[in-house]
Amino acid sequence: MLDLGRIYAIFRKELWQLSRDRITFAMIVMIPLVQLVLFGYAINTDVRHVPAAIVDQSGSSAARLLAADLQASQTVRFVEQEFHDVATATKAMTAGEINAILVIPVDFERRLDDRLRGIGRPLAQWITDGSDPMLGNAINSLKQMPLTLRSPSHKDSSLPASAVFEVVNYYNPERRSAVNIVPGLIAVILTMTMILFTSAAIVREREQGNMEFLINTPIRPLELMIGKILPYIAIGIIQVSILLGLGHALFAVPLPEQWLSFWLVTLLFILASLTLGLLISTKAQTQLQAMQLTVFILLPSILLSGFMFPYVAMPLPAQHIAELLPATHYVRLVRAVVLRDANWSELLGDISVLVGFIVVGMTLATMQFRKRLD
C-alpha cells in the first residue's frame, strides 16, 4: 500500500528545495511570461514603416504628392536623408540603412498623363531588399493599393498601384526564404551552443570541486576565462563552416565574397556569445541553472533578432530590448555580408556594439568571478 504520509513528506521536501533554488523558481514564472509578452506584443507579421529612400528625379509636385500618399499608407517610412541618384541609395541599402528605394523618373508627369489616358509605362519603380522576403512582400502589397494621382492636365483620378509601380527585387530576385533563413540560423545556433557550452564548463568545474584547485594556482580570473573560451572559438568556427557549406550545397545560399568581413563579424559574435556564457556562469550554481538561463536568453534572441520576424515590424520597446542582444546585431551583419556583399567598413555601427559588448561583458564577468573566488 502507498503511504500518503511519506509521499507528502517527499512532496514538501521537493517544494522546499525548489523554493530555495531562486533561479529555477524564477524561470518557472519568467519563461511563460516572456513567451506570452513576446508572442502577444512584440511579434508582428504585419510589416509597417519599412525604411525606404526616395530618388525623385522629376522634382514635380505630383511626385511629392505620390510620396506623401505612400507614407500615409504606413507601409513605408521615407528616411530624411536625400538621395540624388540610385547608386548612392543602393549603397545605403547594402549597409542596411534602408530596405527599399522608390525611383521617380524625370518624365514622371508625362508618364502620368499617359497613364491617365490608359497608355504608357509604369510611373515609378520600387527597388526592394530581396534578402528579406517579408519586407519585399510588404512593398509588393503596395501594388494592390488604389492611388489618387494628380496631374496638371487632368483632374484627380484613381489608378490601381499595379499600373503605377514596377517592383524589382535586389540581392534575392527569386525571393527564396532559405537564402534569408540560413545566415540567420548561424546566429541562432551559435547563440545556443556558445552560451551553453561556456556557462556549463565553468559551472562544471565548480560542481566537480576543481575550482578550489584552480584557486590555489597562480592563474588569474581573466586568464582562466580566456583559457576556457579559446577551445569554443574553434568549435564555433567549425559549426559556421558546416552551416555555410551545407546551406550552399543544399539550398544554393551564396557564399560570401567578402570573406575577411564575414569571419571578422563572425568571430566578434562568437566572442560576444562566449562572454554572455561567462556572465551566466557567475550566477548559475548548477549546470541545470546554466541551461535554464541559456534558454531565457535564447528565446528573445530567436524572436527579436530579426531571424524569424522583421525587426521593423516590432514595437519600439521591443526594438530597444532587441538592441541589447548580440544576436540582433549579428543577424544584420551576416545577412549584409553574405547576401548583400557588404564590406565590414560599411557596418561599423553593429560591429562597434559587439566590440563594446565583449569589453563590458568580460569586465563584469571578471569582477564577478573574482568575488566568487574571494
330 pLDDT higher than 90? yes
Query: Which residues does residue 159 pair with via DSSP β-bridges, in sequence order?
Result: 147
Any idea which architecture 50-170 has in CATH? 3-Layer(aba) Sandwich (3.40)
Average pLDDT, the chain: 82
Which pLDDT value is given to residue 17?
Answer: 67
Which pLDDT value is given to residue 110?
Answer: 83
119: its cell numbers: 497608355
User: Mind listing the pLDDT tens digit for each residue in 179-231?
Assistant: 888 899 999 999 989 988 888 877 777 777 666 666 666 777 777 777 778 88
What is the band of 149 on the pLDDT scale with cuts at 50, 70, 90? Answer: low
Please state the pTM of the whole predicted model. Answer: 0.82
126 pLDDT higher than 70? yes
User: Which residues, 6 or more positions from 286, have their beta carbon under 8 angstroms from its beta carbon?
Assistant: 203, 207
Per-domain residue ranges of the chain: 50-170, 176-373
**C-beta separation of 46 from 94 below 8 A:** no
**C-beta separation of 246 from 329 below 8 A:** no
CA distance 312 to 306: 9
Which pLDDT value is given to residue 131?
Answer: 82
